[in-house]
Amino acid sequence: MRRAPSLPRRPLWEGLTAPSAWDRPTEQAVGATGVRVLTADGASLLCATSGLWNVPLGYGNEAVADAVGAALRSASYLSLFRSSHSYAQQTAETLLSLTGEDRYARVVFSTSGAAANDLTMKLVRHTAALRGAPHRNLVVGLQGGYHGLTYGALSLSGDALGQSVYSADRRGVRHVSAQDGGEQLRQLFAREGDRIAALVLEPVLGSGAVVLDDAFLAAVAEVRAVFDFVLVADEVATGFGRTGSLFASERWPVAPDVLVLSKALTNGAAAASAVLVSEAVCEVFDRRDAVFVHAETQAGTPASCAAILATAAEFERLDALRLAQDLGDALDTTIARIGEHPGVVGTRGAGCFRSLLLARDGRALDGAEVAQVVAATRRAGAIVQPGPSCIQLVPAYVYERRDLDELETAVLHGLDDCEVAA
């Protein structure tokens, strides 16, 4: 296709925004430090998204940056295609030790949460085939769940994300509600349980911060006791203390077979993710000496492994789990005060992963209206995340009291500027 001569020159295709909204100095970041993002128009904005959940220890952690730099100088690039290297071996050992050495047995490295979910969908189907059940190829996700925007993860995601436009293949995917006490889950397994390879769950749905309740998790335990499938915990968003415990799935009544990690894994310093696999799944491959056909050029490189190891060390040095728990408690008070605004009709979430449900004249806000609140809050000095009829607050664990006060003021200004009222 020829380039239309009237089009402005825009070398960067900005993600998840219409072309009419590109090239705005107010939206273009030029730097970040601590809990603040600097923009091209000279503003210093309080970040209440941890850089899209990725930076719980704050921007510019020197220990992580130094570790990445040292790895680049000492090893540059090493691949995990048909071989291994010491950086990846040490990192895998560290990740397994964080979860308890008897819970998971092996680590597969990937490059993002979405790519890790693609990997996992291949893994569970291969596992079923090795167990002599190639017909067991369905993967079940949740309505409203989010697992990423790569082709496989897009199919698994339960949000409306243009799947039909991109011809995402959802023939091997099913979705059930997480808000009906598990009734749809039970019905699905009653109909197709012998065809289901895996159930993939976010402990807290990334879109809207909806926490899986005890009734739904009890239903998961029920079907798990009857049917032979792989239970996957997608903790890309919730891992490493975001909801209070190191991993939110630790509190499930039945342990996952696979744990998917990314985001906080490197404090945002590298494109990295990790899939931790139980001994039971690994044994299926070992018994058949089967090759799992998956690898990624940038997965498990020395630099990304160094970022993971340094982040784990910083979590321990800073006692980040305690910081997250303390911040979650303080956030309760902040959210309660914001919740007194007439436009806030409820809250969801846990720990440092929260959402404020918004309405106007008794009607839940639509996507465009939520975007207006996000923009108004940004003009008031804080970056928040849009969600379905809500805004989401996902602050870094290093927030201080004055940061919470500033966030409260900015959100209230954003709501007032948009005249949001129930």
Distances (CA, A) of 71 to 59, 285, 304: 20, 32, 9
pLDDT tens sequence across 140-188: 999 999 999 999 999 999 988 899 999 999 999 999 999 999 999 999 9
Q: Does 122 map to a domain?
A: yes
Picking from 203, 204, 232, the residue whose alpha carbon sits closest to that of residue 119 is 232
pLDDT tens sequence across 285-335: 999 999 999 999 999 999 999 999 999 999 999 999 999 999 999 999 999
Distances (CA, A) of 375 to 33, 72, 206, 359, 395: 21, 38, 20, 17, 18
Residue 5 in this model has a pLDDT that exceeds 70:
no
Show which of 279, 303, 318 is a domain's final residue: 318
Per-residue confidence band for 100, with pLDDT thresholds at 50, 70 and 90: confident
What percentage of the chain's residues is helix, strand, coil (to nearest 5)?
40, 20, 40
Q: Where are the alpha helices (DSSP H) in 289-379?
A: 302-318, 320-338, 367-379
The residue segments making up the domain with residue 238 are 63-318
* Residue 283 CA, distance from chain mean position: 28
CATH number of the domain encompassing residue 195: 3.40.640.10
Residue 417 in this model has a pLDDT that exceeds 60:
yes
Among the ranges given (97-111, 235-249, 339-353), the one the predictor scored with the smallest mean pLDDT: 97-111
Q: Are 39 and 174 found together in one domain?
A: no
Residue 227 in this model has a pLDDT that exceeds 60:
yes
Q: Are 260 and 406 found together in one domain?
A: no
Q: Does 10 map to a domain?
A: no
Q: Are 136 and 256 found together in one domain?
A: yes
pLDDT of 420? 65
For range 327-354, the mean pLDDT: 97
Q: Are 369 and 413 found together in one domain?
A: yes
Angle at 246 between CA 244 and CA 250, to 5 degrees: 95
Residue 3 in this model has a pLDDT that exceeds 60:
no
pLDDT of 102? 82
Q: Are 68 and 56 found together in one domain?
A: no
**Is 0.85 topped by the overall pTM?**
yes
| The pair of three-digit structure tokens given for residue 222, joined into one six-digit string | 């029920």
Q: Are 230 and 279 found together in one domain?
A: yes
Q: Does 13 map to a domain?
A: no
pLDDT of 2? 59
Q: Are 96 and 224 found together in one domain?
A: yes
pLDDT tens sequence across 13-53: 999 989 988 988 888 999 999 999 999 999 999 999 999 99
Q: Does 422 map to a domain?
A: no
User: How many domains are there within the chain?
Assistant: 2
Show which of 287, 318, 349 is a domain's final residue: 318
| 161 compared with 193, residue with greater pLDDT | 193
Strands 258-261 and 230-234: parallel
Show which of 318, 346, 367 is a domain's final residue: 318
Residue 94 in this model has a pLDDT that exceeds 70:
yes
pLDDT of 1? 55
Q: Are 329 and 309 found together in one domain?
A: no
CATH number of the domain encompassing residue 399: 3.90.1150.10
For range 344-366, the mean pLDDT: 96
Q: Does 7 map to a domain?
A: no
Residue 367 in this model has a pLDDT that exceeds 70:
yes
Q: Does 31 map to a domain?
A: yes
Q: Does 327 map to a domain?
A: yes
Q: Are 220 and 278 found together in one domain?
A: yes
CB distance 136 to 229 below 8 Å: yes
Give CA–CA dist 98/87, Å, rounded. Answer: 17
Q: Are 340 and 361 found together in one domain?
A: yes
Q: Are 39 and 138 found together in one domain?
A: no
Q: Does 263 map to a domain?
A: yes
Q: Are 301 and 366 found together in one domain?
A: no
CB distance 248 to 235 below 8 Å: yes
Indicate the average pLDDT of the chain. 95
